[in-house]
Amino acid sequence: MTSSRMNLPVVAMLALAVALSGCKEAKNPGYQGWVEADMIFVSPDESGRVIKLNVREGDEVKKGAPLYEVDDDLQKADLNQQNATLANAQQTYDRAASLSRTGSGTQANFDAAVSALRVAEARVNTSQTRLARRSGFAPVGGIIQQIYFREGEMVPAQRPVLSIMPPGNMKLRFFVPETDLPKLAVGDEVRVTCDNCAAGLTAKIYFIATAAEYTPPVIYSLEERSKLVYLIQARPNRPDSLRVGQPISVFPGVKTPVADKR
């Protein structure tokens, strides 16, 4: 009886410590950040009017899938002109070659005909390429993130018609105080949470900034030093469970289990 009564304060203290530890962990907001992605922007080489869109925002596309078409009247006209020039150059070359074989022509005329033919062929190839690029195809597989120009709108040269987000290009950006930097390293796994997200999300750190974000790295007081934060970027293990722009909380301490060698 006496022994049992003496253990009650100890049990109560242990219970209080566990409760305080739980409250402390519950109040820990983690490192704050958000979800970003390195988009792939698809654009025409030359300005024109979008005449067809084959996709909508949110569509999943595979590499090589047709995305859009831009009007090609000018490119077709240019190709016709270059083909006509090539036909004339071919005739000039044929005559020069015939005269060269009979000894009636000069070497200079033959060389000039060869050069003109090669230039004409190159210009035809260029025109064919310009015409082919009036249609846009997916350079990578991914999700259509945003469409900037729709059917009937004029798109300037080298301005993207749309953007694609490959799943592997999604990344997490979060900031860590200077005092916590020793806790994290490139290659570490971290736990990721967000509102209404799936459980068990993790990410692997691949970048840690070497310079502080808010205070100059040389001029600061001891008070300002505690406000220094460093950017860290990580790749999520399940990018399909996150959305670009989504706020996240990141917690360190996820360790990769080591296999038992026994």
Closest by Cα among 179, 167, 206, 177 to 190: 206
Q: Is residue 206 part of a domain?
A: yes
CB 191 within 8 A of CB 212: no
Tokens read off for 31: 């490192």
Residue carrying structure tokens 């831009």: 70
Task: Count Cα atoms within 13 angstroms, Cβ side, for 49.
Answer: 7
Query: What's the distance, Cα to Cα, between the start and end of the chain in Å?
Result: 48
CATH number at residue 245: 2.40.30.170
Residue type, 122: A
In a domain, 67, yes or no: no
Nearest-angstrom CA–CA distance, 43 and 2: 83
Q: What is the CATH number of the domain that holds 108?
A: 1.10.287
| Domain closes at, from 107, 133, 159 | 133
Number of structural domains, the chain? Answer: 2
Quote the CA–CA distance of 100 and 182 in Å, as a whole number: 80
Confirm whether pTM is higher than 0.85.
no
Residue 254 predicted with pLDDT over 90 = no
**Domain span including residue 97:** 72-133
Predicted local distance difference test score (pLDDT) of residue 221: 43
- For residues 127 and 25, which has the higher predicted lDDT (pLDDT)? 127
Residues 143-196: tens digit of each pLDDT: 999 999 999 999 999 999 999 999 889 999 998 888 888 889 999 999 999 888
- For the sheet containing 154-155, what is the strand order? 135-137, 66-70, 48-53, 154-155
